[in-house]
Structure 1
Amino acid sequence: MPDLLTEFEHEEVIAAEAKEYHPRRMVLNMGPQHPSTHGVLRLKLELDGETVVKAEPDIGYLHTGIEKEFESKKYQQAVTLTDRIDYLSNLSNNFCYALAVERLLEIEIPPMAQWMRVMLVELTRLNSHLVWLGTHALDIGAMSMFLYCMREREDILRIFEMFSGQRMMTSYIRIGGLALEPPRGWHKRITTFIDAFPSKVDEYEDLLTENRIWIGRTKGVGVMSVPDMLEWGVTGPMLRAGGLKYDARKENPHSSYEHFDFEIPTRQESDVYARYRVRVEEMRQSARIVKQAIDGMPSGRWTADAPHVVLPDRDKMKTEMEALIYHFKIVTEGFRVPEGAVYQVVESPRGELGYYVVSDGTAYPYRVFVRGPSFGNLQATPKMVEGTLLADVIASIGSMDFVLGDSDR
C-alpha cells in the first residue's frame, strides 16, 4: 500500500518515537494557594518520585494593571497606586516613586523629612521581614514563630496608624515630603518599641537558629551560585546570602542614608538557612538605623518649600488667599512636571526596587515602569528547585520572600 502519511504526520511519528519515555514521572500542579505558594503563584512540577526534574513558575494574575493606571492619575494621586504594588512594604514604594518625581521637579527635601522617611522605611523593612519569617516558618511547620512575629508586626502597624491613620496603605511619603506632620508622641512610641525589639529578635533566634529540625529543613536546600543569581536578575537578601555585598542604601545613598551607620549582612552558603540568617541580621541593622534616626532627628519643615507642588497647611488655606489658590489648583489641576525621564533605585525588603518615570510636561505621568524585585527573584525558581525534593520546594520558594503584587503590576 502506498504511504498515506503526510510529511507533517511523518515528523510527528518520528518525534514521538524519539521522545524519551519516563514511566516513573508525573506532572503536579502546586498552587496557587496559601500557605506554601503565598498567593497566585502556580508551579508546574515534573516529578521523578519525590525529586523535582523540571519546574515552570506561573505568576498568575492579580488584575491590577497598576503601571497602566499611572497614566490616568495625576502625579500626587498616583502615590496611592504605589501602596498596592507591594502591600508589605508600601512605604518603600511611596519612597522610590517620590524620589523619582522629585528628581524631575528638582526640588530639595528638608533634612527632617529625609530622616523621617528613612526611619519609616526601615520600620517597613522590619514589618516585611516579620511577615516573611512568620509565614516561612509556618510553611516548614514552626507555628510558634508566626505568633511571635505577628506580635511585633502589630506594634509596627499601630505606629503607621498613628502617623497616617492607616495600618497598611498609608500613602504617607508624598512628593515633596510627608503627607502629614508627624504626630505628637511619636518619639516616645517608637523609642519604646525599638528599645525592646532586639530582645524579640533574640527570641526568634532562640527558637530557630540552633533548632535541629529547622537546620535539617533549610541547610543545603535551594542553593544558587552568585553568577546564576546575577544572570537571572536576583537581588536583595538572596544575593547577599551568597556573599555579594551589594545594597542600594550603600551603593547609591539617598535621603540622607549616608549619615547612618549600619552594616550589610552577608553569608557564603547561599541556601535557605543563609537567607534566614541574613534577614534576621537585617532586622537588627534596621532597628539600629531607626534608633539613630530617633536620636538625631533634625528640626525644621516636614515638606519642601514648593507651594506649586505641596499642599499648603490647612490653617493657612483658611486665612490666606494665596494658599487657598495653590490648594485649589493642585487639587483640581495637579502640578506639571518638566519633560524628562529618570530611573530611581531603593533597597526594598525584597531587593532592588526601581521606578522609571517618564514625563511629557503635563500633570500626568507619560509612563511609569516598576522594576519589582519579586519578579526577578521568581525567575530563578527552576534553577533553585530542580534536582531537589518536593518538600524542599516549599522551603526554597519561601526563602525568596516574594509578593505577587510586586510581580504582576
Structure 2
Amino acid sequence: MDIQYQYHPDHLKNSEPTVYSAEGLKSEEMLINLGPQHPSTHGVLRLEVISDGEVVKDVVPHLGYLHRCFEKHAESVPYNQVIPYVDRMDYVAAMNSEHAYAMGVERMLGITDKIPKRVEYIRVLVAELNRLASHFVAIGTYGLDIGAFTPFLWVMRDREHIQRLLEWASGARMLYNYIWIGGLFYDLPVGFEERCASFSKYLKPKLKDLENLLISNKIFIDRTAKVGTLPLDLAINYGVTGPMLRGSGLKFDLRRVDGYSVYPELDFEVPIGSGEMGEVGDCWDRTWVRFRECEESVKIIDQCLERLTSDCKRTRDFDPREVVPKKIRPKAQDLYVRAENPKGELGFFFRADGRADQAIRCKARACSFVNLSVLPEISRGYMLSDLIAIMGSLDVVMGEVDR
C-alpha cells in the first residue's frame, strides 16, 4: 500500500509520524498550457492539458493562431488566382494541394479528358516528390520530439534534394504555384528526368538506413508502441483519413479508391498498420505507414519517369490556355472533389452560379483539422511525455488547420 507521512504540528513533542493511505488522499488536477510557441506542437497550436500529476486527464486543442482565411480569399478572386492561397494551407505539401484544387475546377469546366498525358504524369511526379518531402518532415521532427536527433538531420539532408528539384521546376522552394488549372506553369526543365532518376537511385538505400536507425530502433519502439492507440471504429467516426486511418488497419487510399489522374495506371501498394510492435493503430503503426509510403512513392516516381521518357516524351510546350477559357466561368453547380494528400483526404466543395468567375462558396476539408480533432480521445490516461509522442504522430500543419 502506498503511504505518505505527515508530521503532527506538535511534532517536537510527538516524534511519531501520522500515516495516511494513498486512497484517503485527494489528488489535485493541474492545468498546463502546452504551446502555442512550443516546438512539439508543430506550429502555433495551444494544448490546454488537464493532468493529475503526470497522467493526462483531458486535452483541449485551441486553434486560430495562424488563420489563413483561405475560404474567403477563394471566394474573392478568380479561380485561377486561388492557387497561391492553396499553397499556403499545407505549406509542407503544396504540390498535392494544388493538384486537388486544379482537378476540382477542371471537373467543373468538363475539361478533365483534355489534359495531356504528359501533364498528368508530371503532376503525379511532383506530387509524389512532395509527398516524400512531407513524410520526411513528419518522421524527422517526430524523432526529434522524442529525443532522436540524428534521423532529423538525415531526412532534412535528403529532403533538400527534393526541394532543389521542385525549385528547378517551379522557381520556388516551398510555395510552388506550379500546377495550374488546365495544365502546368511550365514543362519540366531539360534534364529534370535524368536528375530525378539519379535521386531515386540515391534514396533507396538511404530509406533502409533510416528504417534501421529509427523505425526499428528499440528505444523508438518502446516510446511509441501501445501509445496513443486509435481504434478503427473511433477513427471512422471522427472522419480520420490518411496514414492515421491506414495505421488503424483500413486500406483506404483515394489514389486507389477514387483512381484520379493517372494513378490507376501505376503499380503501388497501400500499407496499413498491423500492430507488429504493439497494438493496431498506435503511434508506431502510424509512423511505420508513413515510412512505407515513402518507399511506395519512390516506386511511383520511377514509373512516372519511365513514362515521361518513353510514351509521353516532350514534343512541344503545352499551353493551358489551349483548353482553359480566358474567363473561367463554370456552369451553375455544386461539386466536391477530393485527393489523397500526405496527411489524408483534402477536399474542396465548390458552388458556382454560372455567371461569376469566382466561386460563390468554396469550402476546404482540411485533413489536419479533422485528424487533430481525435487527439483528446487517444490521449486520456497516458503520461505527459506520451502526449508529446501522440501529438507528433498526428502530423498536423497549422496552416491547414486554420485554413
Q: TM-score, normalised by structure 1?
A: 0.87
Give distance in 1, aligned partners of 2:316 and 2:117: 8
Give distance in 1, aligned partners of 2:318 and 2:182: 6
Give distance in 1, aligned partners of 2:287 and 2:143: 10
Secondary structure of 2:371's aligned partner: helix
Give distance in 2, aligned partners of 1:152 and 1:305: 32
Deviations 1:103-147 (A, max 9, x none): 011112111101111111101100100011111100101011110
Change in CA separation of 1:22 and 1:58 when aligned onto 2, cut-off 3 Å: farther
What's the offset of the Cα at 1:304? 6.8
Q: Which amino acid aligns with 1:119?
A: L
The answer to whether structure 1 residue 384 and structure 2 residue 399 are counterparts is no
Deviations 1:17-39 (A, max 9, x none): xxxx9542111111112411011
Instruction: Report the counterpart of residue 294 of structure 2 in structure 1.
Output: 283
Which 10-residue stretch deviates more, 281-290 or 300-309? 300-309
Give distance in 2, aligned partners of 1:210 and 1:367: 47
Change in CA separation of 1:302 and 1:380 when aligned onto 2, cut-off 3 Å: farther
The answer to whether structure 1 residue 403 and structure 2 residue 397 are counterparts is yes
Give distance in 2, aligned partners of 1:192 and 1:164: 19
**In structure 2, which of residues 301, 304, 307 is the aligned counterpart of residue 293 of structure 1?**
304
Deviations 1:285-306 (A, max 9, x none): 0000000000112135664775
Instruction: Report the counterpart of residue 130 of structure 1 in structure 2.
Output: 136
**In structure 1, which of residues 344, 347, 359 is the aligned counterpart of residue 340 of structure 2?**
347
- Aligned positions of 1:12-27 closer than 5 A: 23-27=27-31
Change in CA separation of 1:306 and 1:57 when aligned onto 2, cut-off 3 Å: same
The answer to whether structure 1 residue 73 and structure 2 residue 77 are counterparts is yes
Instruction: Report the counterpart of residue 86 of structure 1 in structure 2.
Output: 90
Is the contact between residue 266 and residue 300 of structure 2 (CA under 8 Å) also seen in structure 1?
yes
Is the contact between residue 70 and residue 365 of structure 1 (CA under 8 Å) also seen in structure 2?
yes
Q: Which amino acid aligns with 1:373?
A: C
Q: Which amino acid aligns with 2:341?
A: S
What's the offset of the Cα at 1:68? 0.3
Give distance in 1, aligned partners of 2:266 and 2:385: 41
**In structure 1, which of residues 167, 170, 178 is the aligned counterpart of residue 173 of structure 2?**
167
Change in CA separation of 1:302 and 1:270 when aligned onto 2, cut-off 3 Å: farther
What's the offset of the Cα at 1:267? 1.3
Is the contact between residue 87 and residue 175 of structure 2 (CA under 8 Å) also seen in structure 1?
yes
Secondary structure of 2:328's aligned partner: coil
Q: TM-score, normalised by structure 2?
A: 0.88
Give distance in 1, aligned partners of 2:301 and 2:224: 30
Residue segments in structure 1 that go unaligned for 5+ positions in a row: 1-20, 311-329
Identity between Structure 1 and Structure 2 (%): 41
**In structure 1, which of residues 29, 32, 39 is the aligned counterpart of residue 33 of structure 2?**
29
Instruction: Report the counterpart of residue 49 of structure 2 in structure 1.
Output: 45
Instruction: Report the counterpart of residue 230 of structure 1 in structure 2.
Output: 236
Is the contact between residue 368 and residue 400 of structure 2 (CA under 8 Å) also seen in structure 1?
yes
Give distance in 2, aligned partners of 1:120 and 1:34: 31
The answer to whether structure 1 residue 266 and structure 2 residue 272 are counterparts is yes
Deviations 1:172-200 (A, max 9, x none): 00000111121111111101101111111
Is the contact between residue 27 and residue 52 of structure 2 (CA under 8 Å) also seen in structure 1?
no
Give distance in 2, aligned partners of 1:244 and 1:304: 40
Matched residue count: 367
Give distance in 1, aligned partners of 2:123 and 2:367: 21
What's the offset of the Cα at 1:248? 0.2
Instruction: Report the counterpart of residue 104 of structure 1 in structure 2.
Output: 108
CA-atom RMSD in angstroms: 1.5
Is the contact between residue 229 and residue 282 of structure 2 (CA under 8 Å) also seen in structure 1?
yes
What's the offset of the Cα at 1:82? 0.5
Give distance in 2, aligned partners of 1:57 and 1:343: 28
Change in CA separation of 1:215 and 1:308 when aligned onto 2, cut-off 3 Å: closer
What's the offset of the Cα at 1:63? 2.9
Q: Which amino acid aligns with 2:98?
A: N
Instruction: Report the counterpart of residue 330 of structure 2 in structure 1.
Output: 337
Change in CA separation of 1:159 and 1:394 when aligned onto 2, cut-off 3 Å: same
Residue segments in structure 2 that go unaligned for 5+ positions in a row: 1-24, 275-279
**In structure 2, which of residues 361, 367, 370 is the aligned counterpart of residue 367 of structure 1?**
361
Is the contact between residue 110 and residue 301 of structure 1 (CA under 8 Å) also seen in structure 2?
no
The answer to whether structure 1 residue 250 and structure 2 residue 256 are counterparts is yes
Give distance in 2, aligned partners of 1:226 and 1:38: 25
Secondary structure of 1:182's aligned partner: coil
Deviations 1:88-108 (A, max 9, x none): 010111101100000011112
Give distance in 2, aligned partners of 1:302 and 1:78: 24
Give distance in 1, aligned partners of 2:26 and 2:41: 27
Secondary structure of 1:399's aligned partner: helix
What's the offset of the Cα at 1:282? 0.3
Give distance in 1, aligned partners of 2:319 and 2:99: 15
Instruction: Report the counterpart of residue 55 of structure 1 in structure 2.
Output: 59
- Aligned positions of 1:101-250 closer than 5 A: 101-107=105-111, 108-250=114-256
What's the offset of the Cα at 1:308? 6.4
Give distance in 2, aligned partners of 1:123 and 1:402: 19
